[in-house]
């Protein structure tokens, strides 16, 4: 325990990459480490999280509430978000001061988003962080995709970012410090077989976030953006995925690890986050000549990763 802690401390002094190595070492050997950050970094924060009924959204909500924030849990399934809200309020809130508020909403529908946004602002007394986390994946070959599935994937993974961001932007700009967090994917940079709709929708999320960041900066806005590009996460959304040779370099990520990285990135004002950090090499792969990039993906069997994809059994927003 002591040696692992010392290794982590030394690695932090040597830089981020060494720190990541030490952290992975500690996690792989089952050593529990305490967070070194303040336990109340989100004191006073009022946060909207889409896809908050389970998985990554739920994990992020728990971390934010544990550090002093209040959250609006957006999701399509009333039972899921109500259970999460009850759990968080029981542990961190009181009858007179709840910390979690559930809102049933389909983020792909702009009118519903606008109505729920105002209710959310009223319930929280304002909003200064928006986390666009809801996402879906079909995992089918292009020739097998029906029109409805394609539209639904873009509606949730891409268009919802526009509707939710537009609904809250004016409110966010009332605050001295505010954040828009868009959970995209490494697939927004590196595309593989059986992800034509998913990858394209995540490319849109990457482009939207980058352009929005440029606009906000040019306007000297107080709102910052954070683009999150994770690898496969063990929420169940990617059940059945086999990363081939990539498993040696990048294991399927735990939901808690990704949630922790997102919360840290928001607290530290980061603007782009790859999880794991080595995933940033995907931007270099995308810049290589096509023949070389394709050869590397073939060697790593990356295009076979989705061959046995199961997912959650149906195409719906991840909650």
- Going by the DSSP 8-state scheme, the letter that residue 130 receives in this structure is E
Same domain, 16 and 62: no
Q: 198 an active-site residue?
A: yes
Q: What is the CA radius of gyration of the chain?
A: 19
* Inside any domain, residue 316: no
Same domain? For 102 and 241 the reply is yes
Residues 25 and 98 in one domain: no
Quick check: is 314 in a domain?
A: no
Has residue 47 been placed in a domain? Answer: yes
Q: Does residue 77 contact residue 53 with C-beta atoms inside 8 Å? A: yes
Indicate if the alpha-carbon torsion angle 268, 273, 279, 284 is positive or negative: negative
Give start and end residues of each alpha helix (H) in the chain.
2-14, 16-28, 55-66, 78-92, 110-124, 147-154, 160-172, 196-218, 255-267, 281-287, 290-299
CA distance 131 to 86: 20
- Does residue 16 share a domain with residue 30? yes
Of 152, 223, 137, residue with least CA distance to 185: 137
Q: Can you give the CATH number for the domain in which 218 is found?
A: 3.40.50.720
Question: 83: which 2 tokens?
Answer: 């259970």
Q: What are the pLDDT tens digits along the chain (319 aa)?
A: 444 444 434 433 433 343 343 334 334 333 333 344 456 899 999 999 999 999 999 999 999 999 999 999 999 999 999 999 999 999 999 989 999 999 999 999 999 999 999 999 999 999 999 999 999 988 889 999 999 999 999 999 999 999 999 999 999 999 999 999 999 999 999 988 788 999 999 999 999 999 999 999 999 999 999 999 998 888 766 555 565 545 555 567 899 999 999 999 999 999 999 999 988 988 888 899 999 988 888 877 777 666 556 656 544 455 5
Whether residues 80 and 144 share a domain: the answer is yes
Same domain, 23 and 167: no
The boundaries of the domain holding residue 29 are 1-34
Q: Is residue 149 part of a domain?
A: yes
Q: Do 216 and 79 fall into the same domain?
A: yes
> Is residue 128 within 8 Å of residue 302, measured between CB atoms?
no
Number of domains in the chain: 2
Q: Are residues 50 and 196 in the same domain?
A: yes
Of 92, 198, 231, 232, the active-site residue reads 198
């Amino acid at each position: 325990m002591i040696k692992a802690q010392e290794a982590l401390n030394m690695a932090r002094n040597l830089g981020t990459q060494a720190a990541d190595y030490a952290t992975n070492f500690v996690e792989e050997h089952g050593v529990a480490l305490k967070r070194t950050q303040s336990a109340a970094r989100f004191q006073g924060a009022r946060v909207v999280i889409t896809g908050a009924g389970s998985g990554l959204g739920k994990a992020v909500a728990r971390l934010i509430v544990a550090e002093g924030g209040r959250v609006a849990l957006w999701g399509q399934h009333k039972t899921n978000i109500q259970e999460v809200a009850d759990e968080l309020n029981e542990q961190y809130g009181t009858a007179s001061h709840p910390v979690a508020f559930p809102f049933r909403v389909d983020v792909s529908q702009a009118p519903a988003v606008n109505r729920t946004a105002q209710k959310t602002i009223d319930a929280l007394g304002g909003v200064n962080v928006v986390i666009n986390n809801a996402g879906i994946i079909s995992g089918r070959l292009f020739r097998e995709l029906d029109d409805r599935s394609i539209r639904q994937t873009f509606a949730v993974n891409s268009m919802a970012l526009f509707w939710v961001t537009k609904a809250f932007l004016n409110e966010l700009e009332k605050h001295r410090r505010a954040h828009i967090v868009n959970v995209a994917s490494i697939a927004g940079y590196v595309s593989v077989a059986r992800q034509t709709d998913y990858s394209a929708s995540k490319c849109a999320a990457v482009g939207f976030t980058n352009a929005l960041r440029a606009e906000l900066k040019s306007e000297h806005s107080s709102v910052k953006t954070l683009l999150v590009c994770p690898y496969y996460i063990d929420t169940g959304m990617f059940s059945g995925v086999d990363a081939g040779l990539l498993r040696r370099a990048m294991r399927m990520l735990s939901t808690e690890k990704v949630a922790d990285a997102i919360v840290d990135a928001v607290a530290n004002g980061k603007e782009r986050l790859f999880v794991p950090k080595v995933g940033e090499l995907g931007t270099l792969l995308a810049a290589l000549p096509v023949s070389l990039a394709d050869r590397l993906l073939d060697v790593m069997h990356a295009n076979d990763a989705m061959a046995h994809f199961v997912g959650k059994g149906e195409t719906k927003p991840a909650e």
